[in-house]
Homo-oligomer: A and B are copies of this chain.
Amino acid sequence: MTSSTSRAPVAAEGTRARLIDAALDLFTHCGFAGTSLQMIADQLHVTKAAVYHHFKTRDEILAAVIRPAVEDVKNLIAEASAQRTPTARAERMLTGWVDLALRHRALIGLLQTDPAVKPHLKEEQNASILLDQPRDLLASHLSGPGRQVCAQVALLGIVGAASTPELRELDDETLRDLLLDVGRKILGLRRPRSS
């Protein structure tokens, strides 16, 4: 069996990526519990066997939907940690965090609104664990008892605002700039010369 059908003759990797996109879309609109492998197949005009070639269960698809976001957070933590100065670490973390919040807002919206998803998350996908290091990095250059509070407000406020439906009327570039502005205001960071 191959992953392509006569109706959708694409390479296996392309099908896999499209399956993940279609699954997130269906999870968002029909709920995780209300989405079947057949619905995902129908959405892409492929056979259920074509879906089954890539994913045996809905849980496997959910894991594949979440994995890129978790990897992005880990990569950003590594990248921000490697900066030389505390201010550069905070600035890199903030810029990257805004980008991830926007890139993954459909997934974040799903995690925030669909109660059926949470029981299927693995320990490494636990939101509070994924937030600990970003919070510390955002507070790199700050001191005093308020440093963790500022960083947490920025972290959660940005994630929440990026996935707020009412704010989607702003185009992505505008929303990105506004989120960066408010993040810098909270953290007392200046806009760097080369951004």
Chain A positions within 8 Å of B, measured between CB atoms, are 115-119, 128, 132, 135, 145-146, 148-150, 152-161, 164-167, 170, 174-175, 178-179, 181-183, 185-186
Docked complex Cα distance between A181 and B158 (Å): 18
**Contacting pair B178 A149 (CB below 8 A):** yes
In the complex, which residues of chain B have a beta carbon less than 8 angstroms from the beta carbon of A146?
A: 178, 181-182
15 further A-B contacts with Cβ under 8 Å, apart from A149-B175, A149-B182, A156-B156, are A132-B166, A145-B178, A149-B170, A150-B178, A152-B161, A152-B164, A153-B154, A153-B158, A153-B182, A153-B183, A156-B157, A156-B160, A157-B157, A182-B186, A186-B186
> Interface SS of chain A: helix, strand, loop or mixed?
helix
Bound-state CA distance A183–B167 (Å) is 19
CA distance A157 to B157 in the complex (A): 4
CA of A111 to CA of B116, assembled, Å? 14
| A160 x B161 contact (CB < 8 A) | no
Q: Which B residues are CB-close (under 8 A) to A186?
A: 153, 157, 182, 185-186
Q: Which residues does chain B contribute within 8 Å of A155, judged by CB atoms? A: 157, 160
Contacting A153 at CB < 8 Å: which of B128, B160, B166?
Answer: B160
Alpha-carbon separation in the docked complex, A117 to B160 (Å): 20
* A161 and B167 within 8 A (CB): no
A146 to B180, CA, bound (A): 11
Q: Return A171 CB to nearest CB of chain B, in Å.
A: 10
Give chain B residues whose Cβ lies under 8 Å from the Cβ of A118: 115
Partner of A149, one of B119, B156, B165, B167: B167
Nearest residue in B to A158 (C-beta to C-beta)? B153
Residue of B nearest to A116 (CB): B115
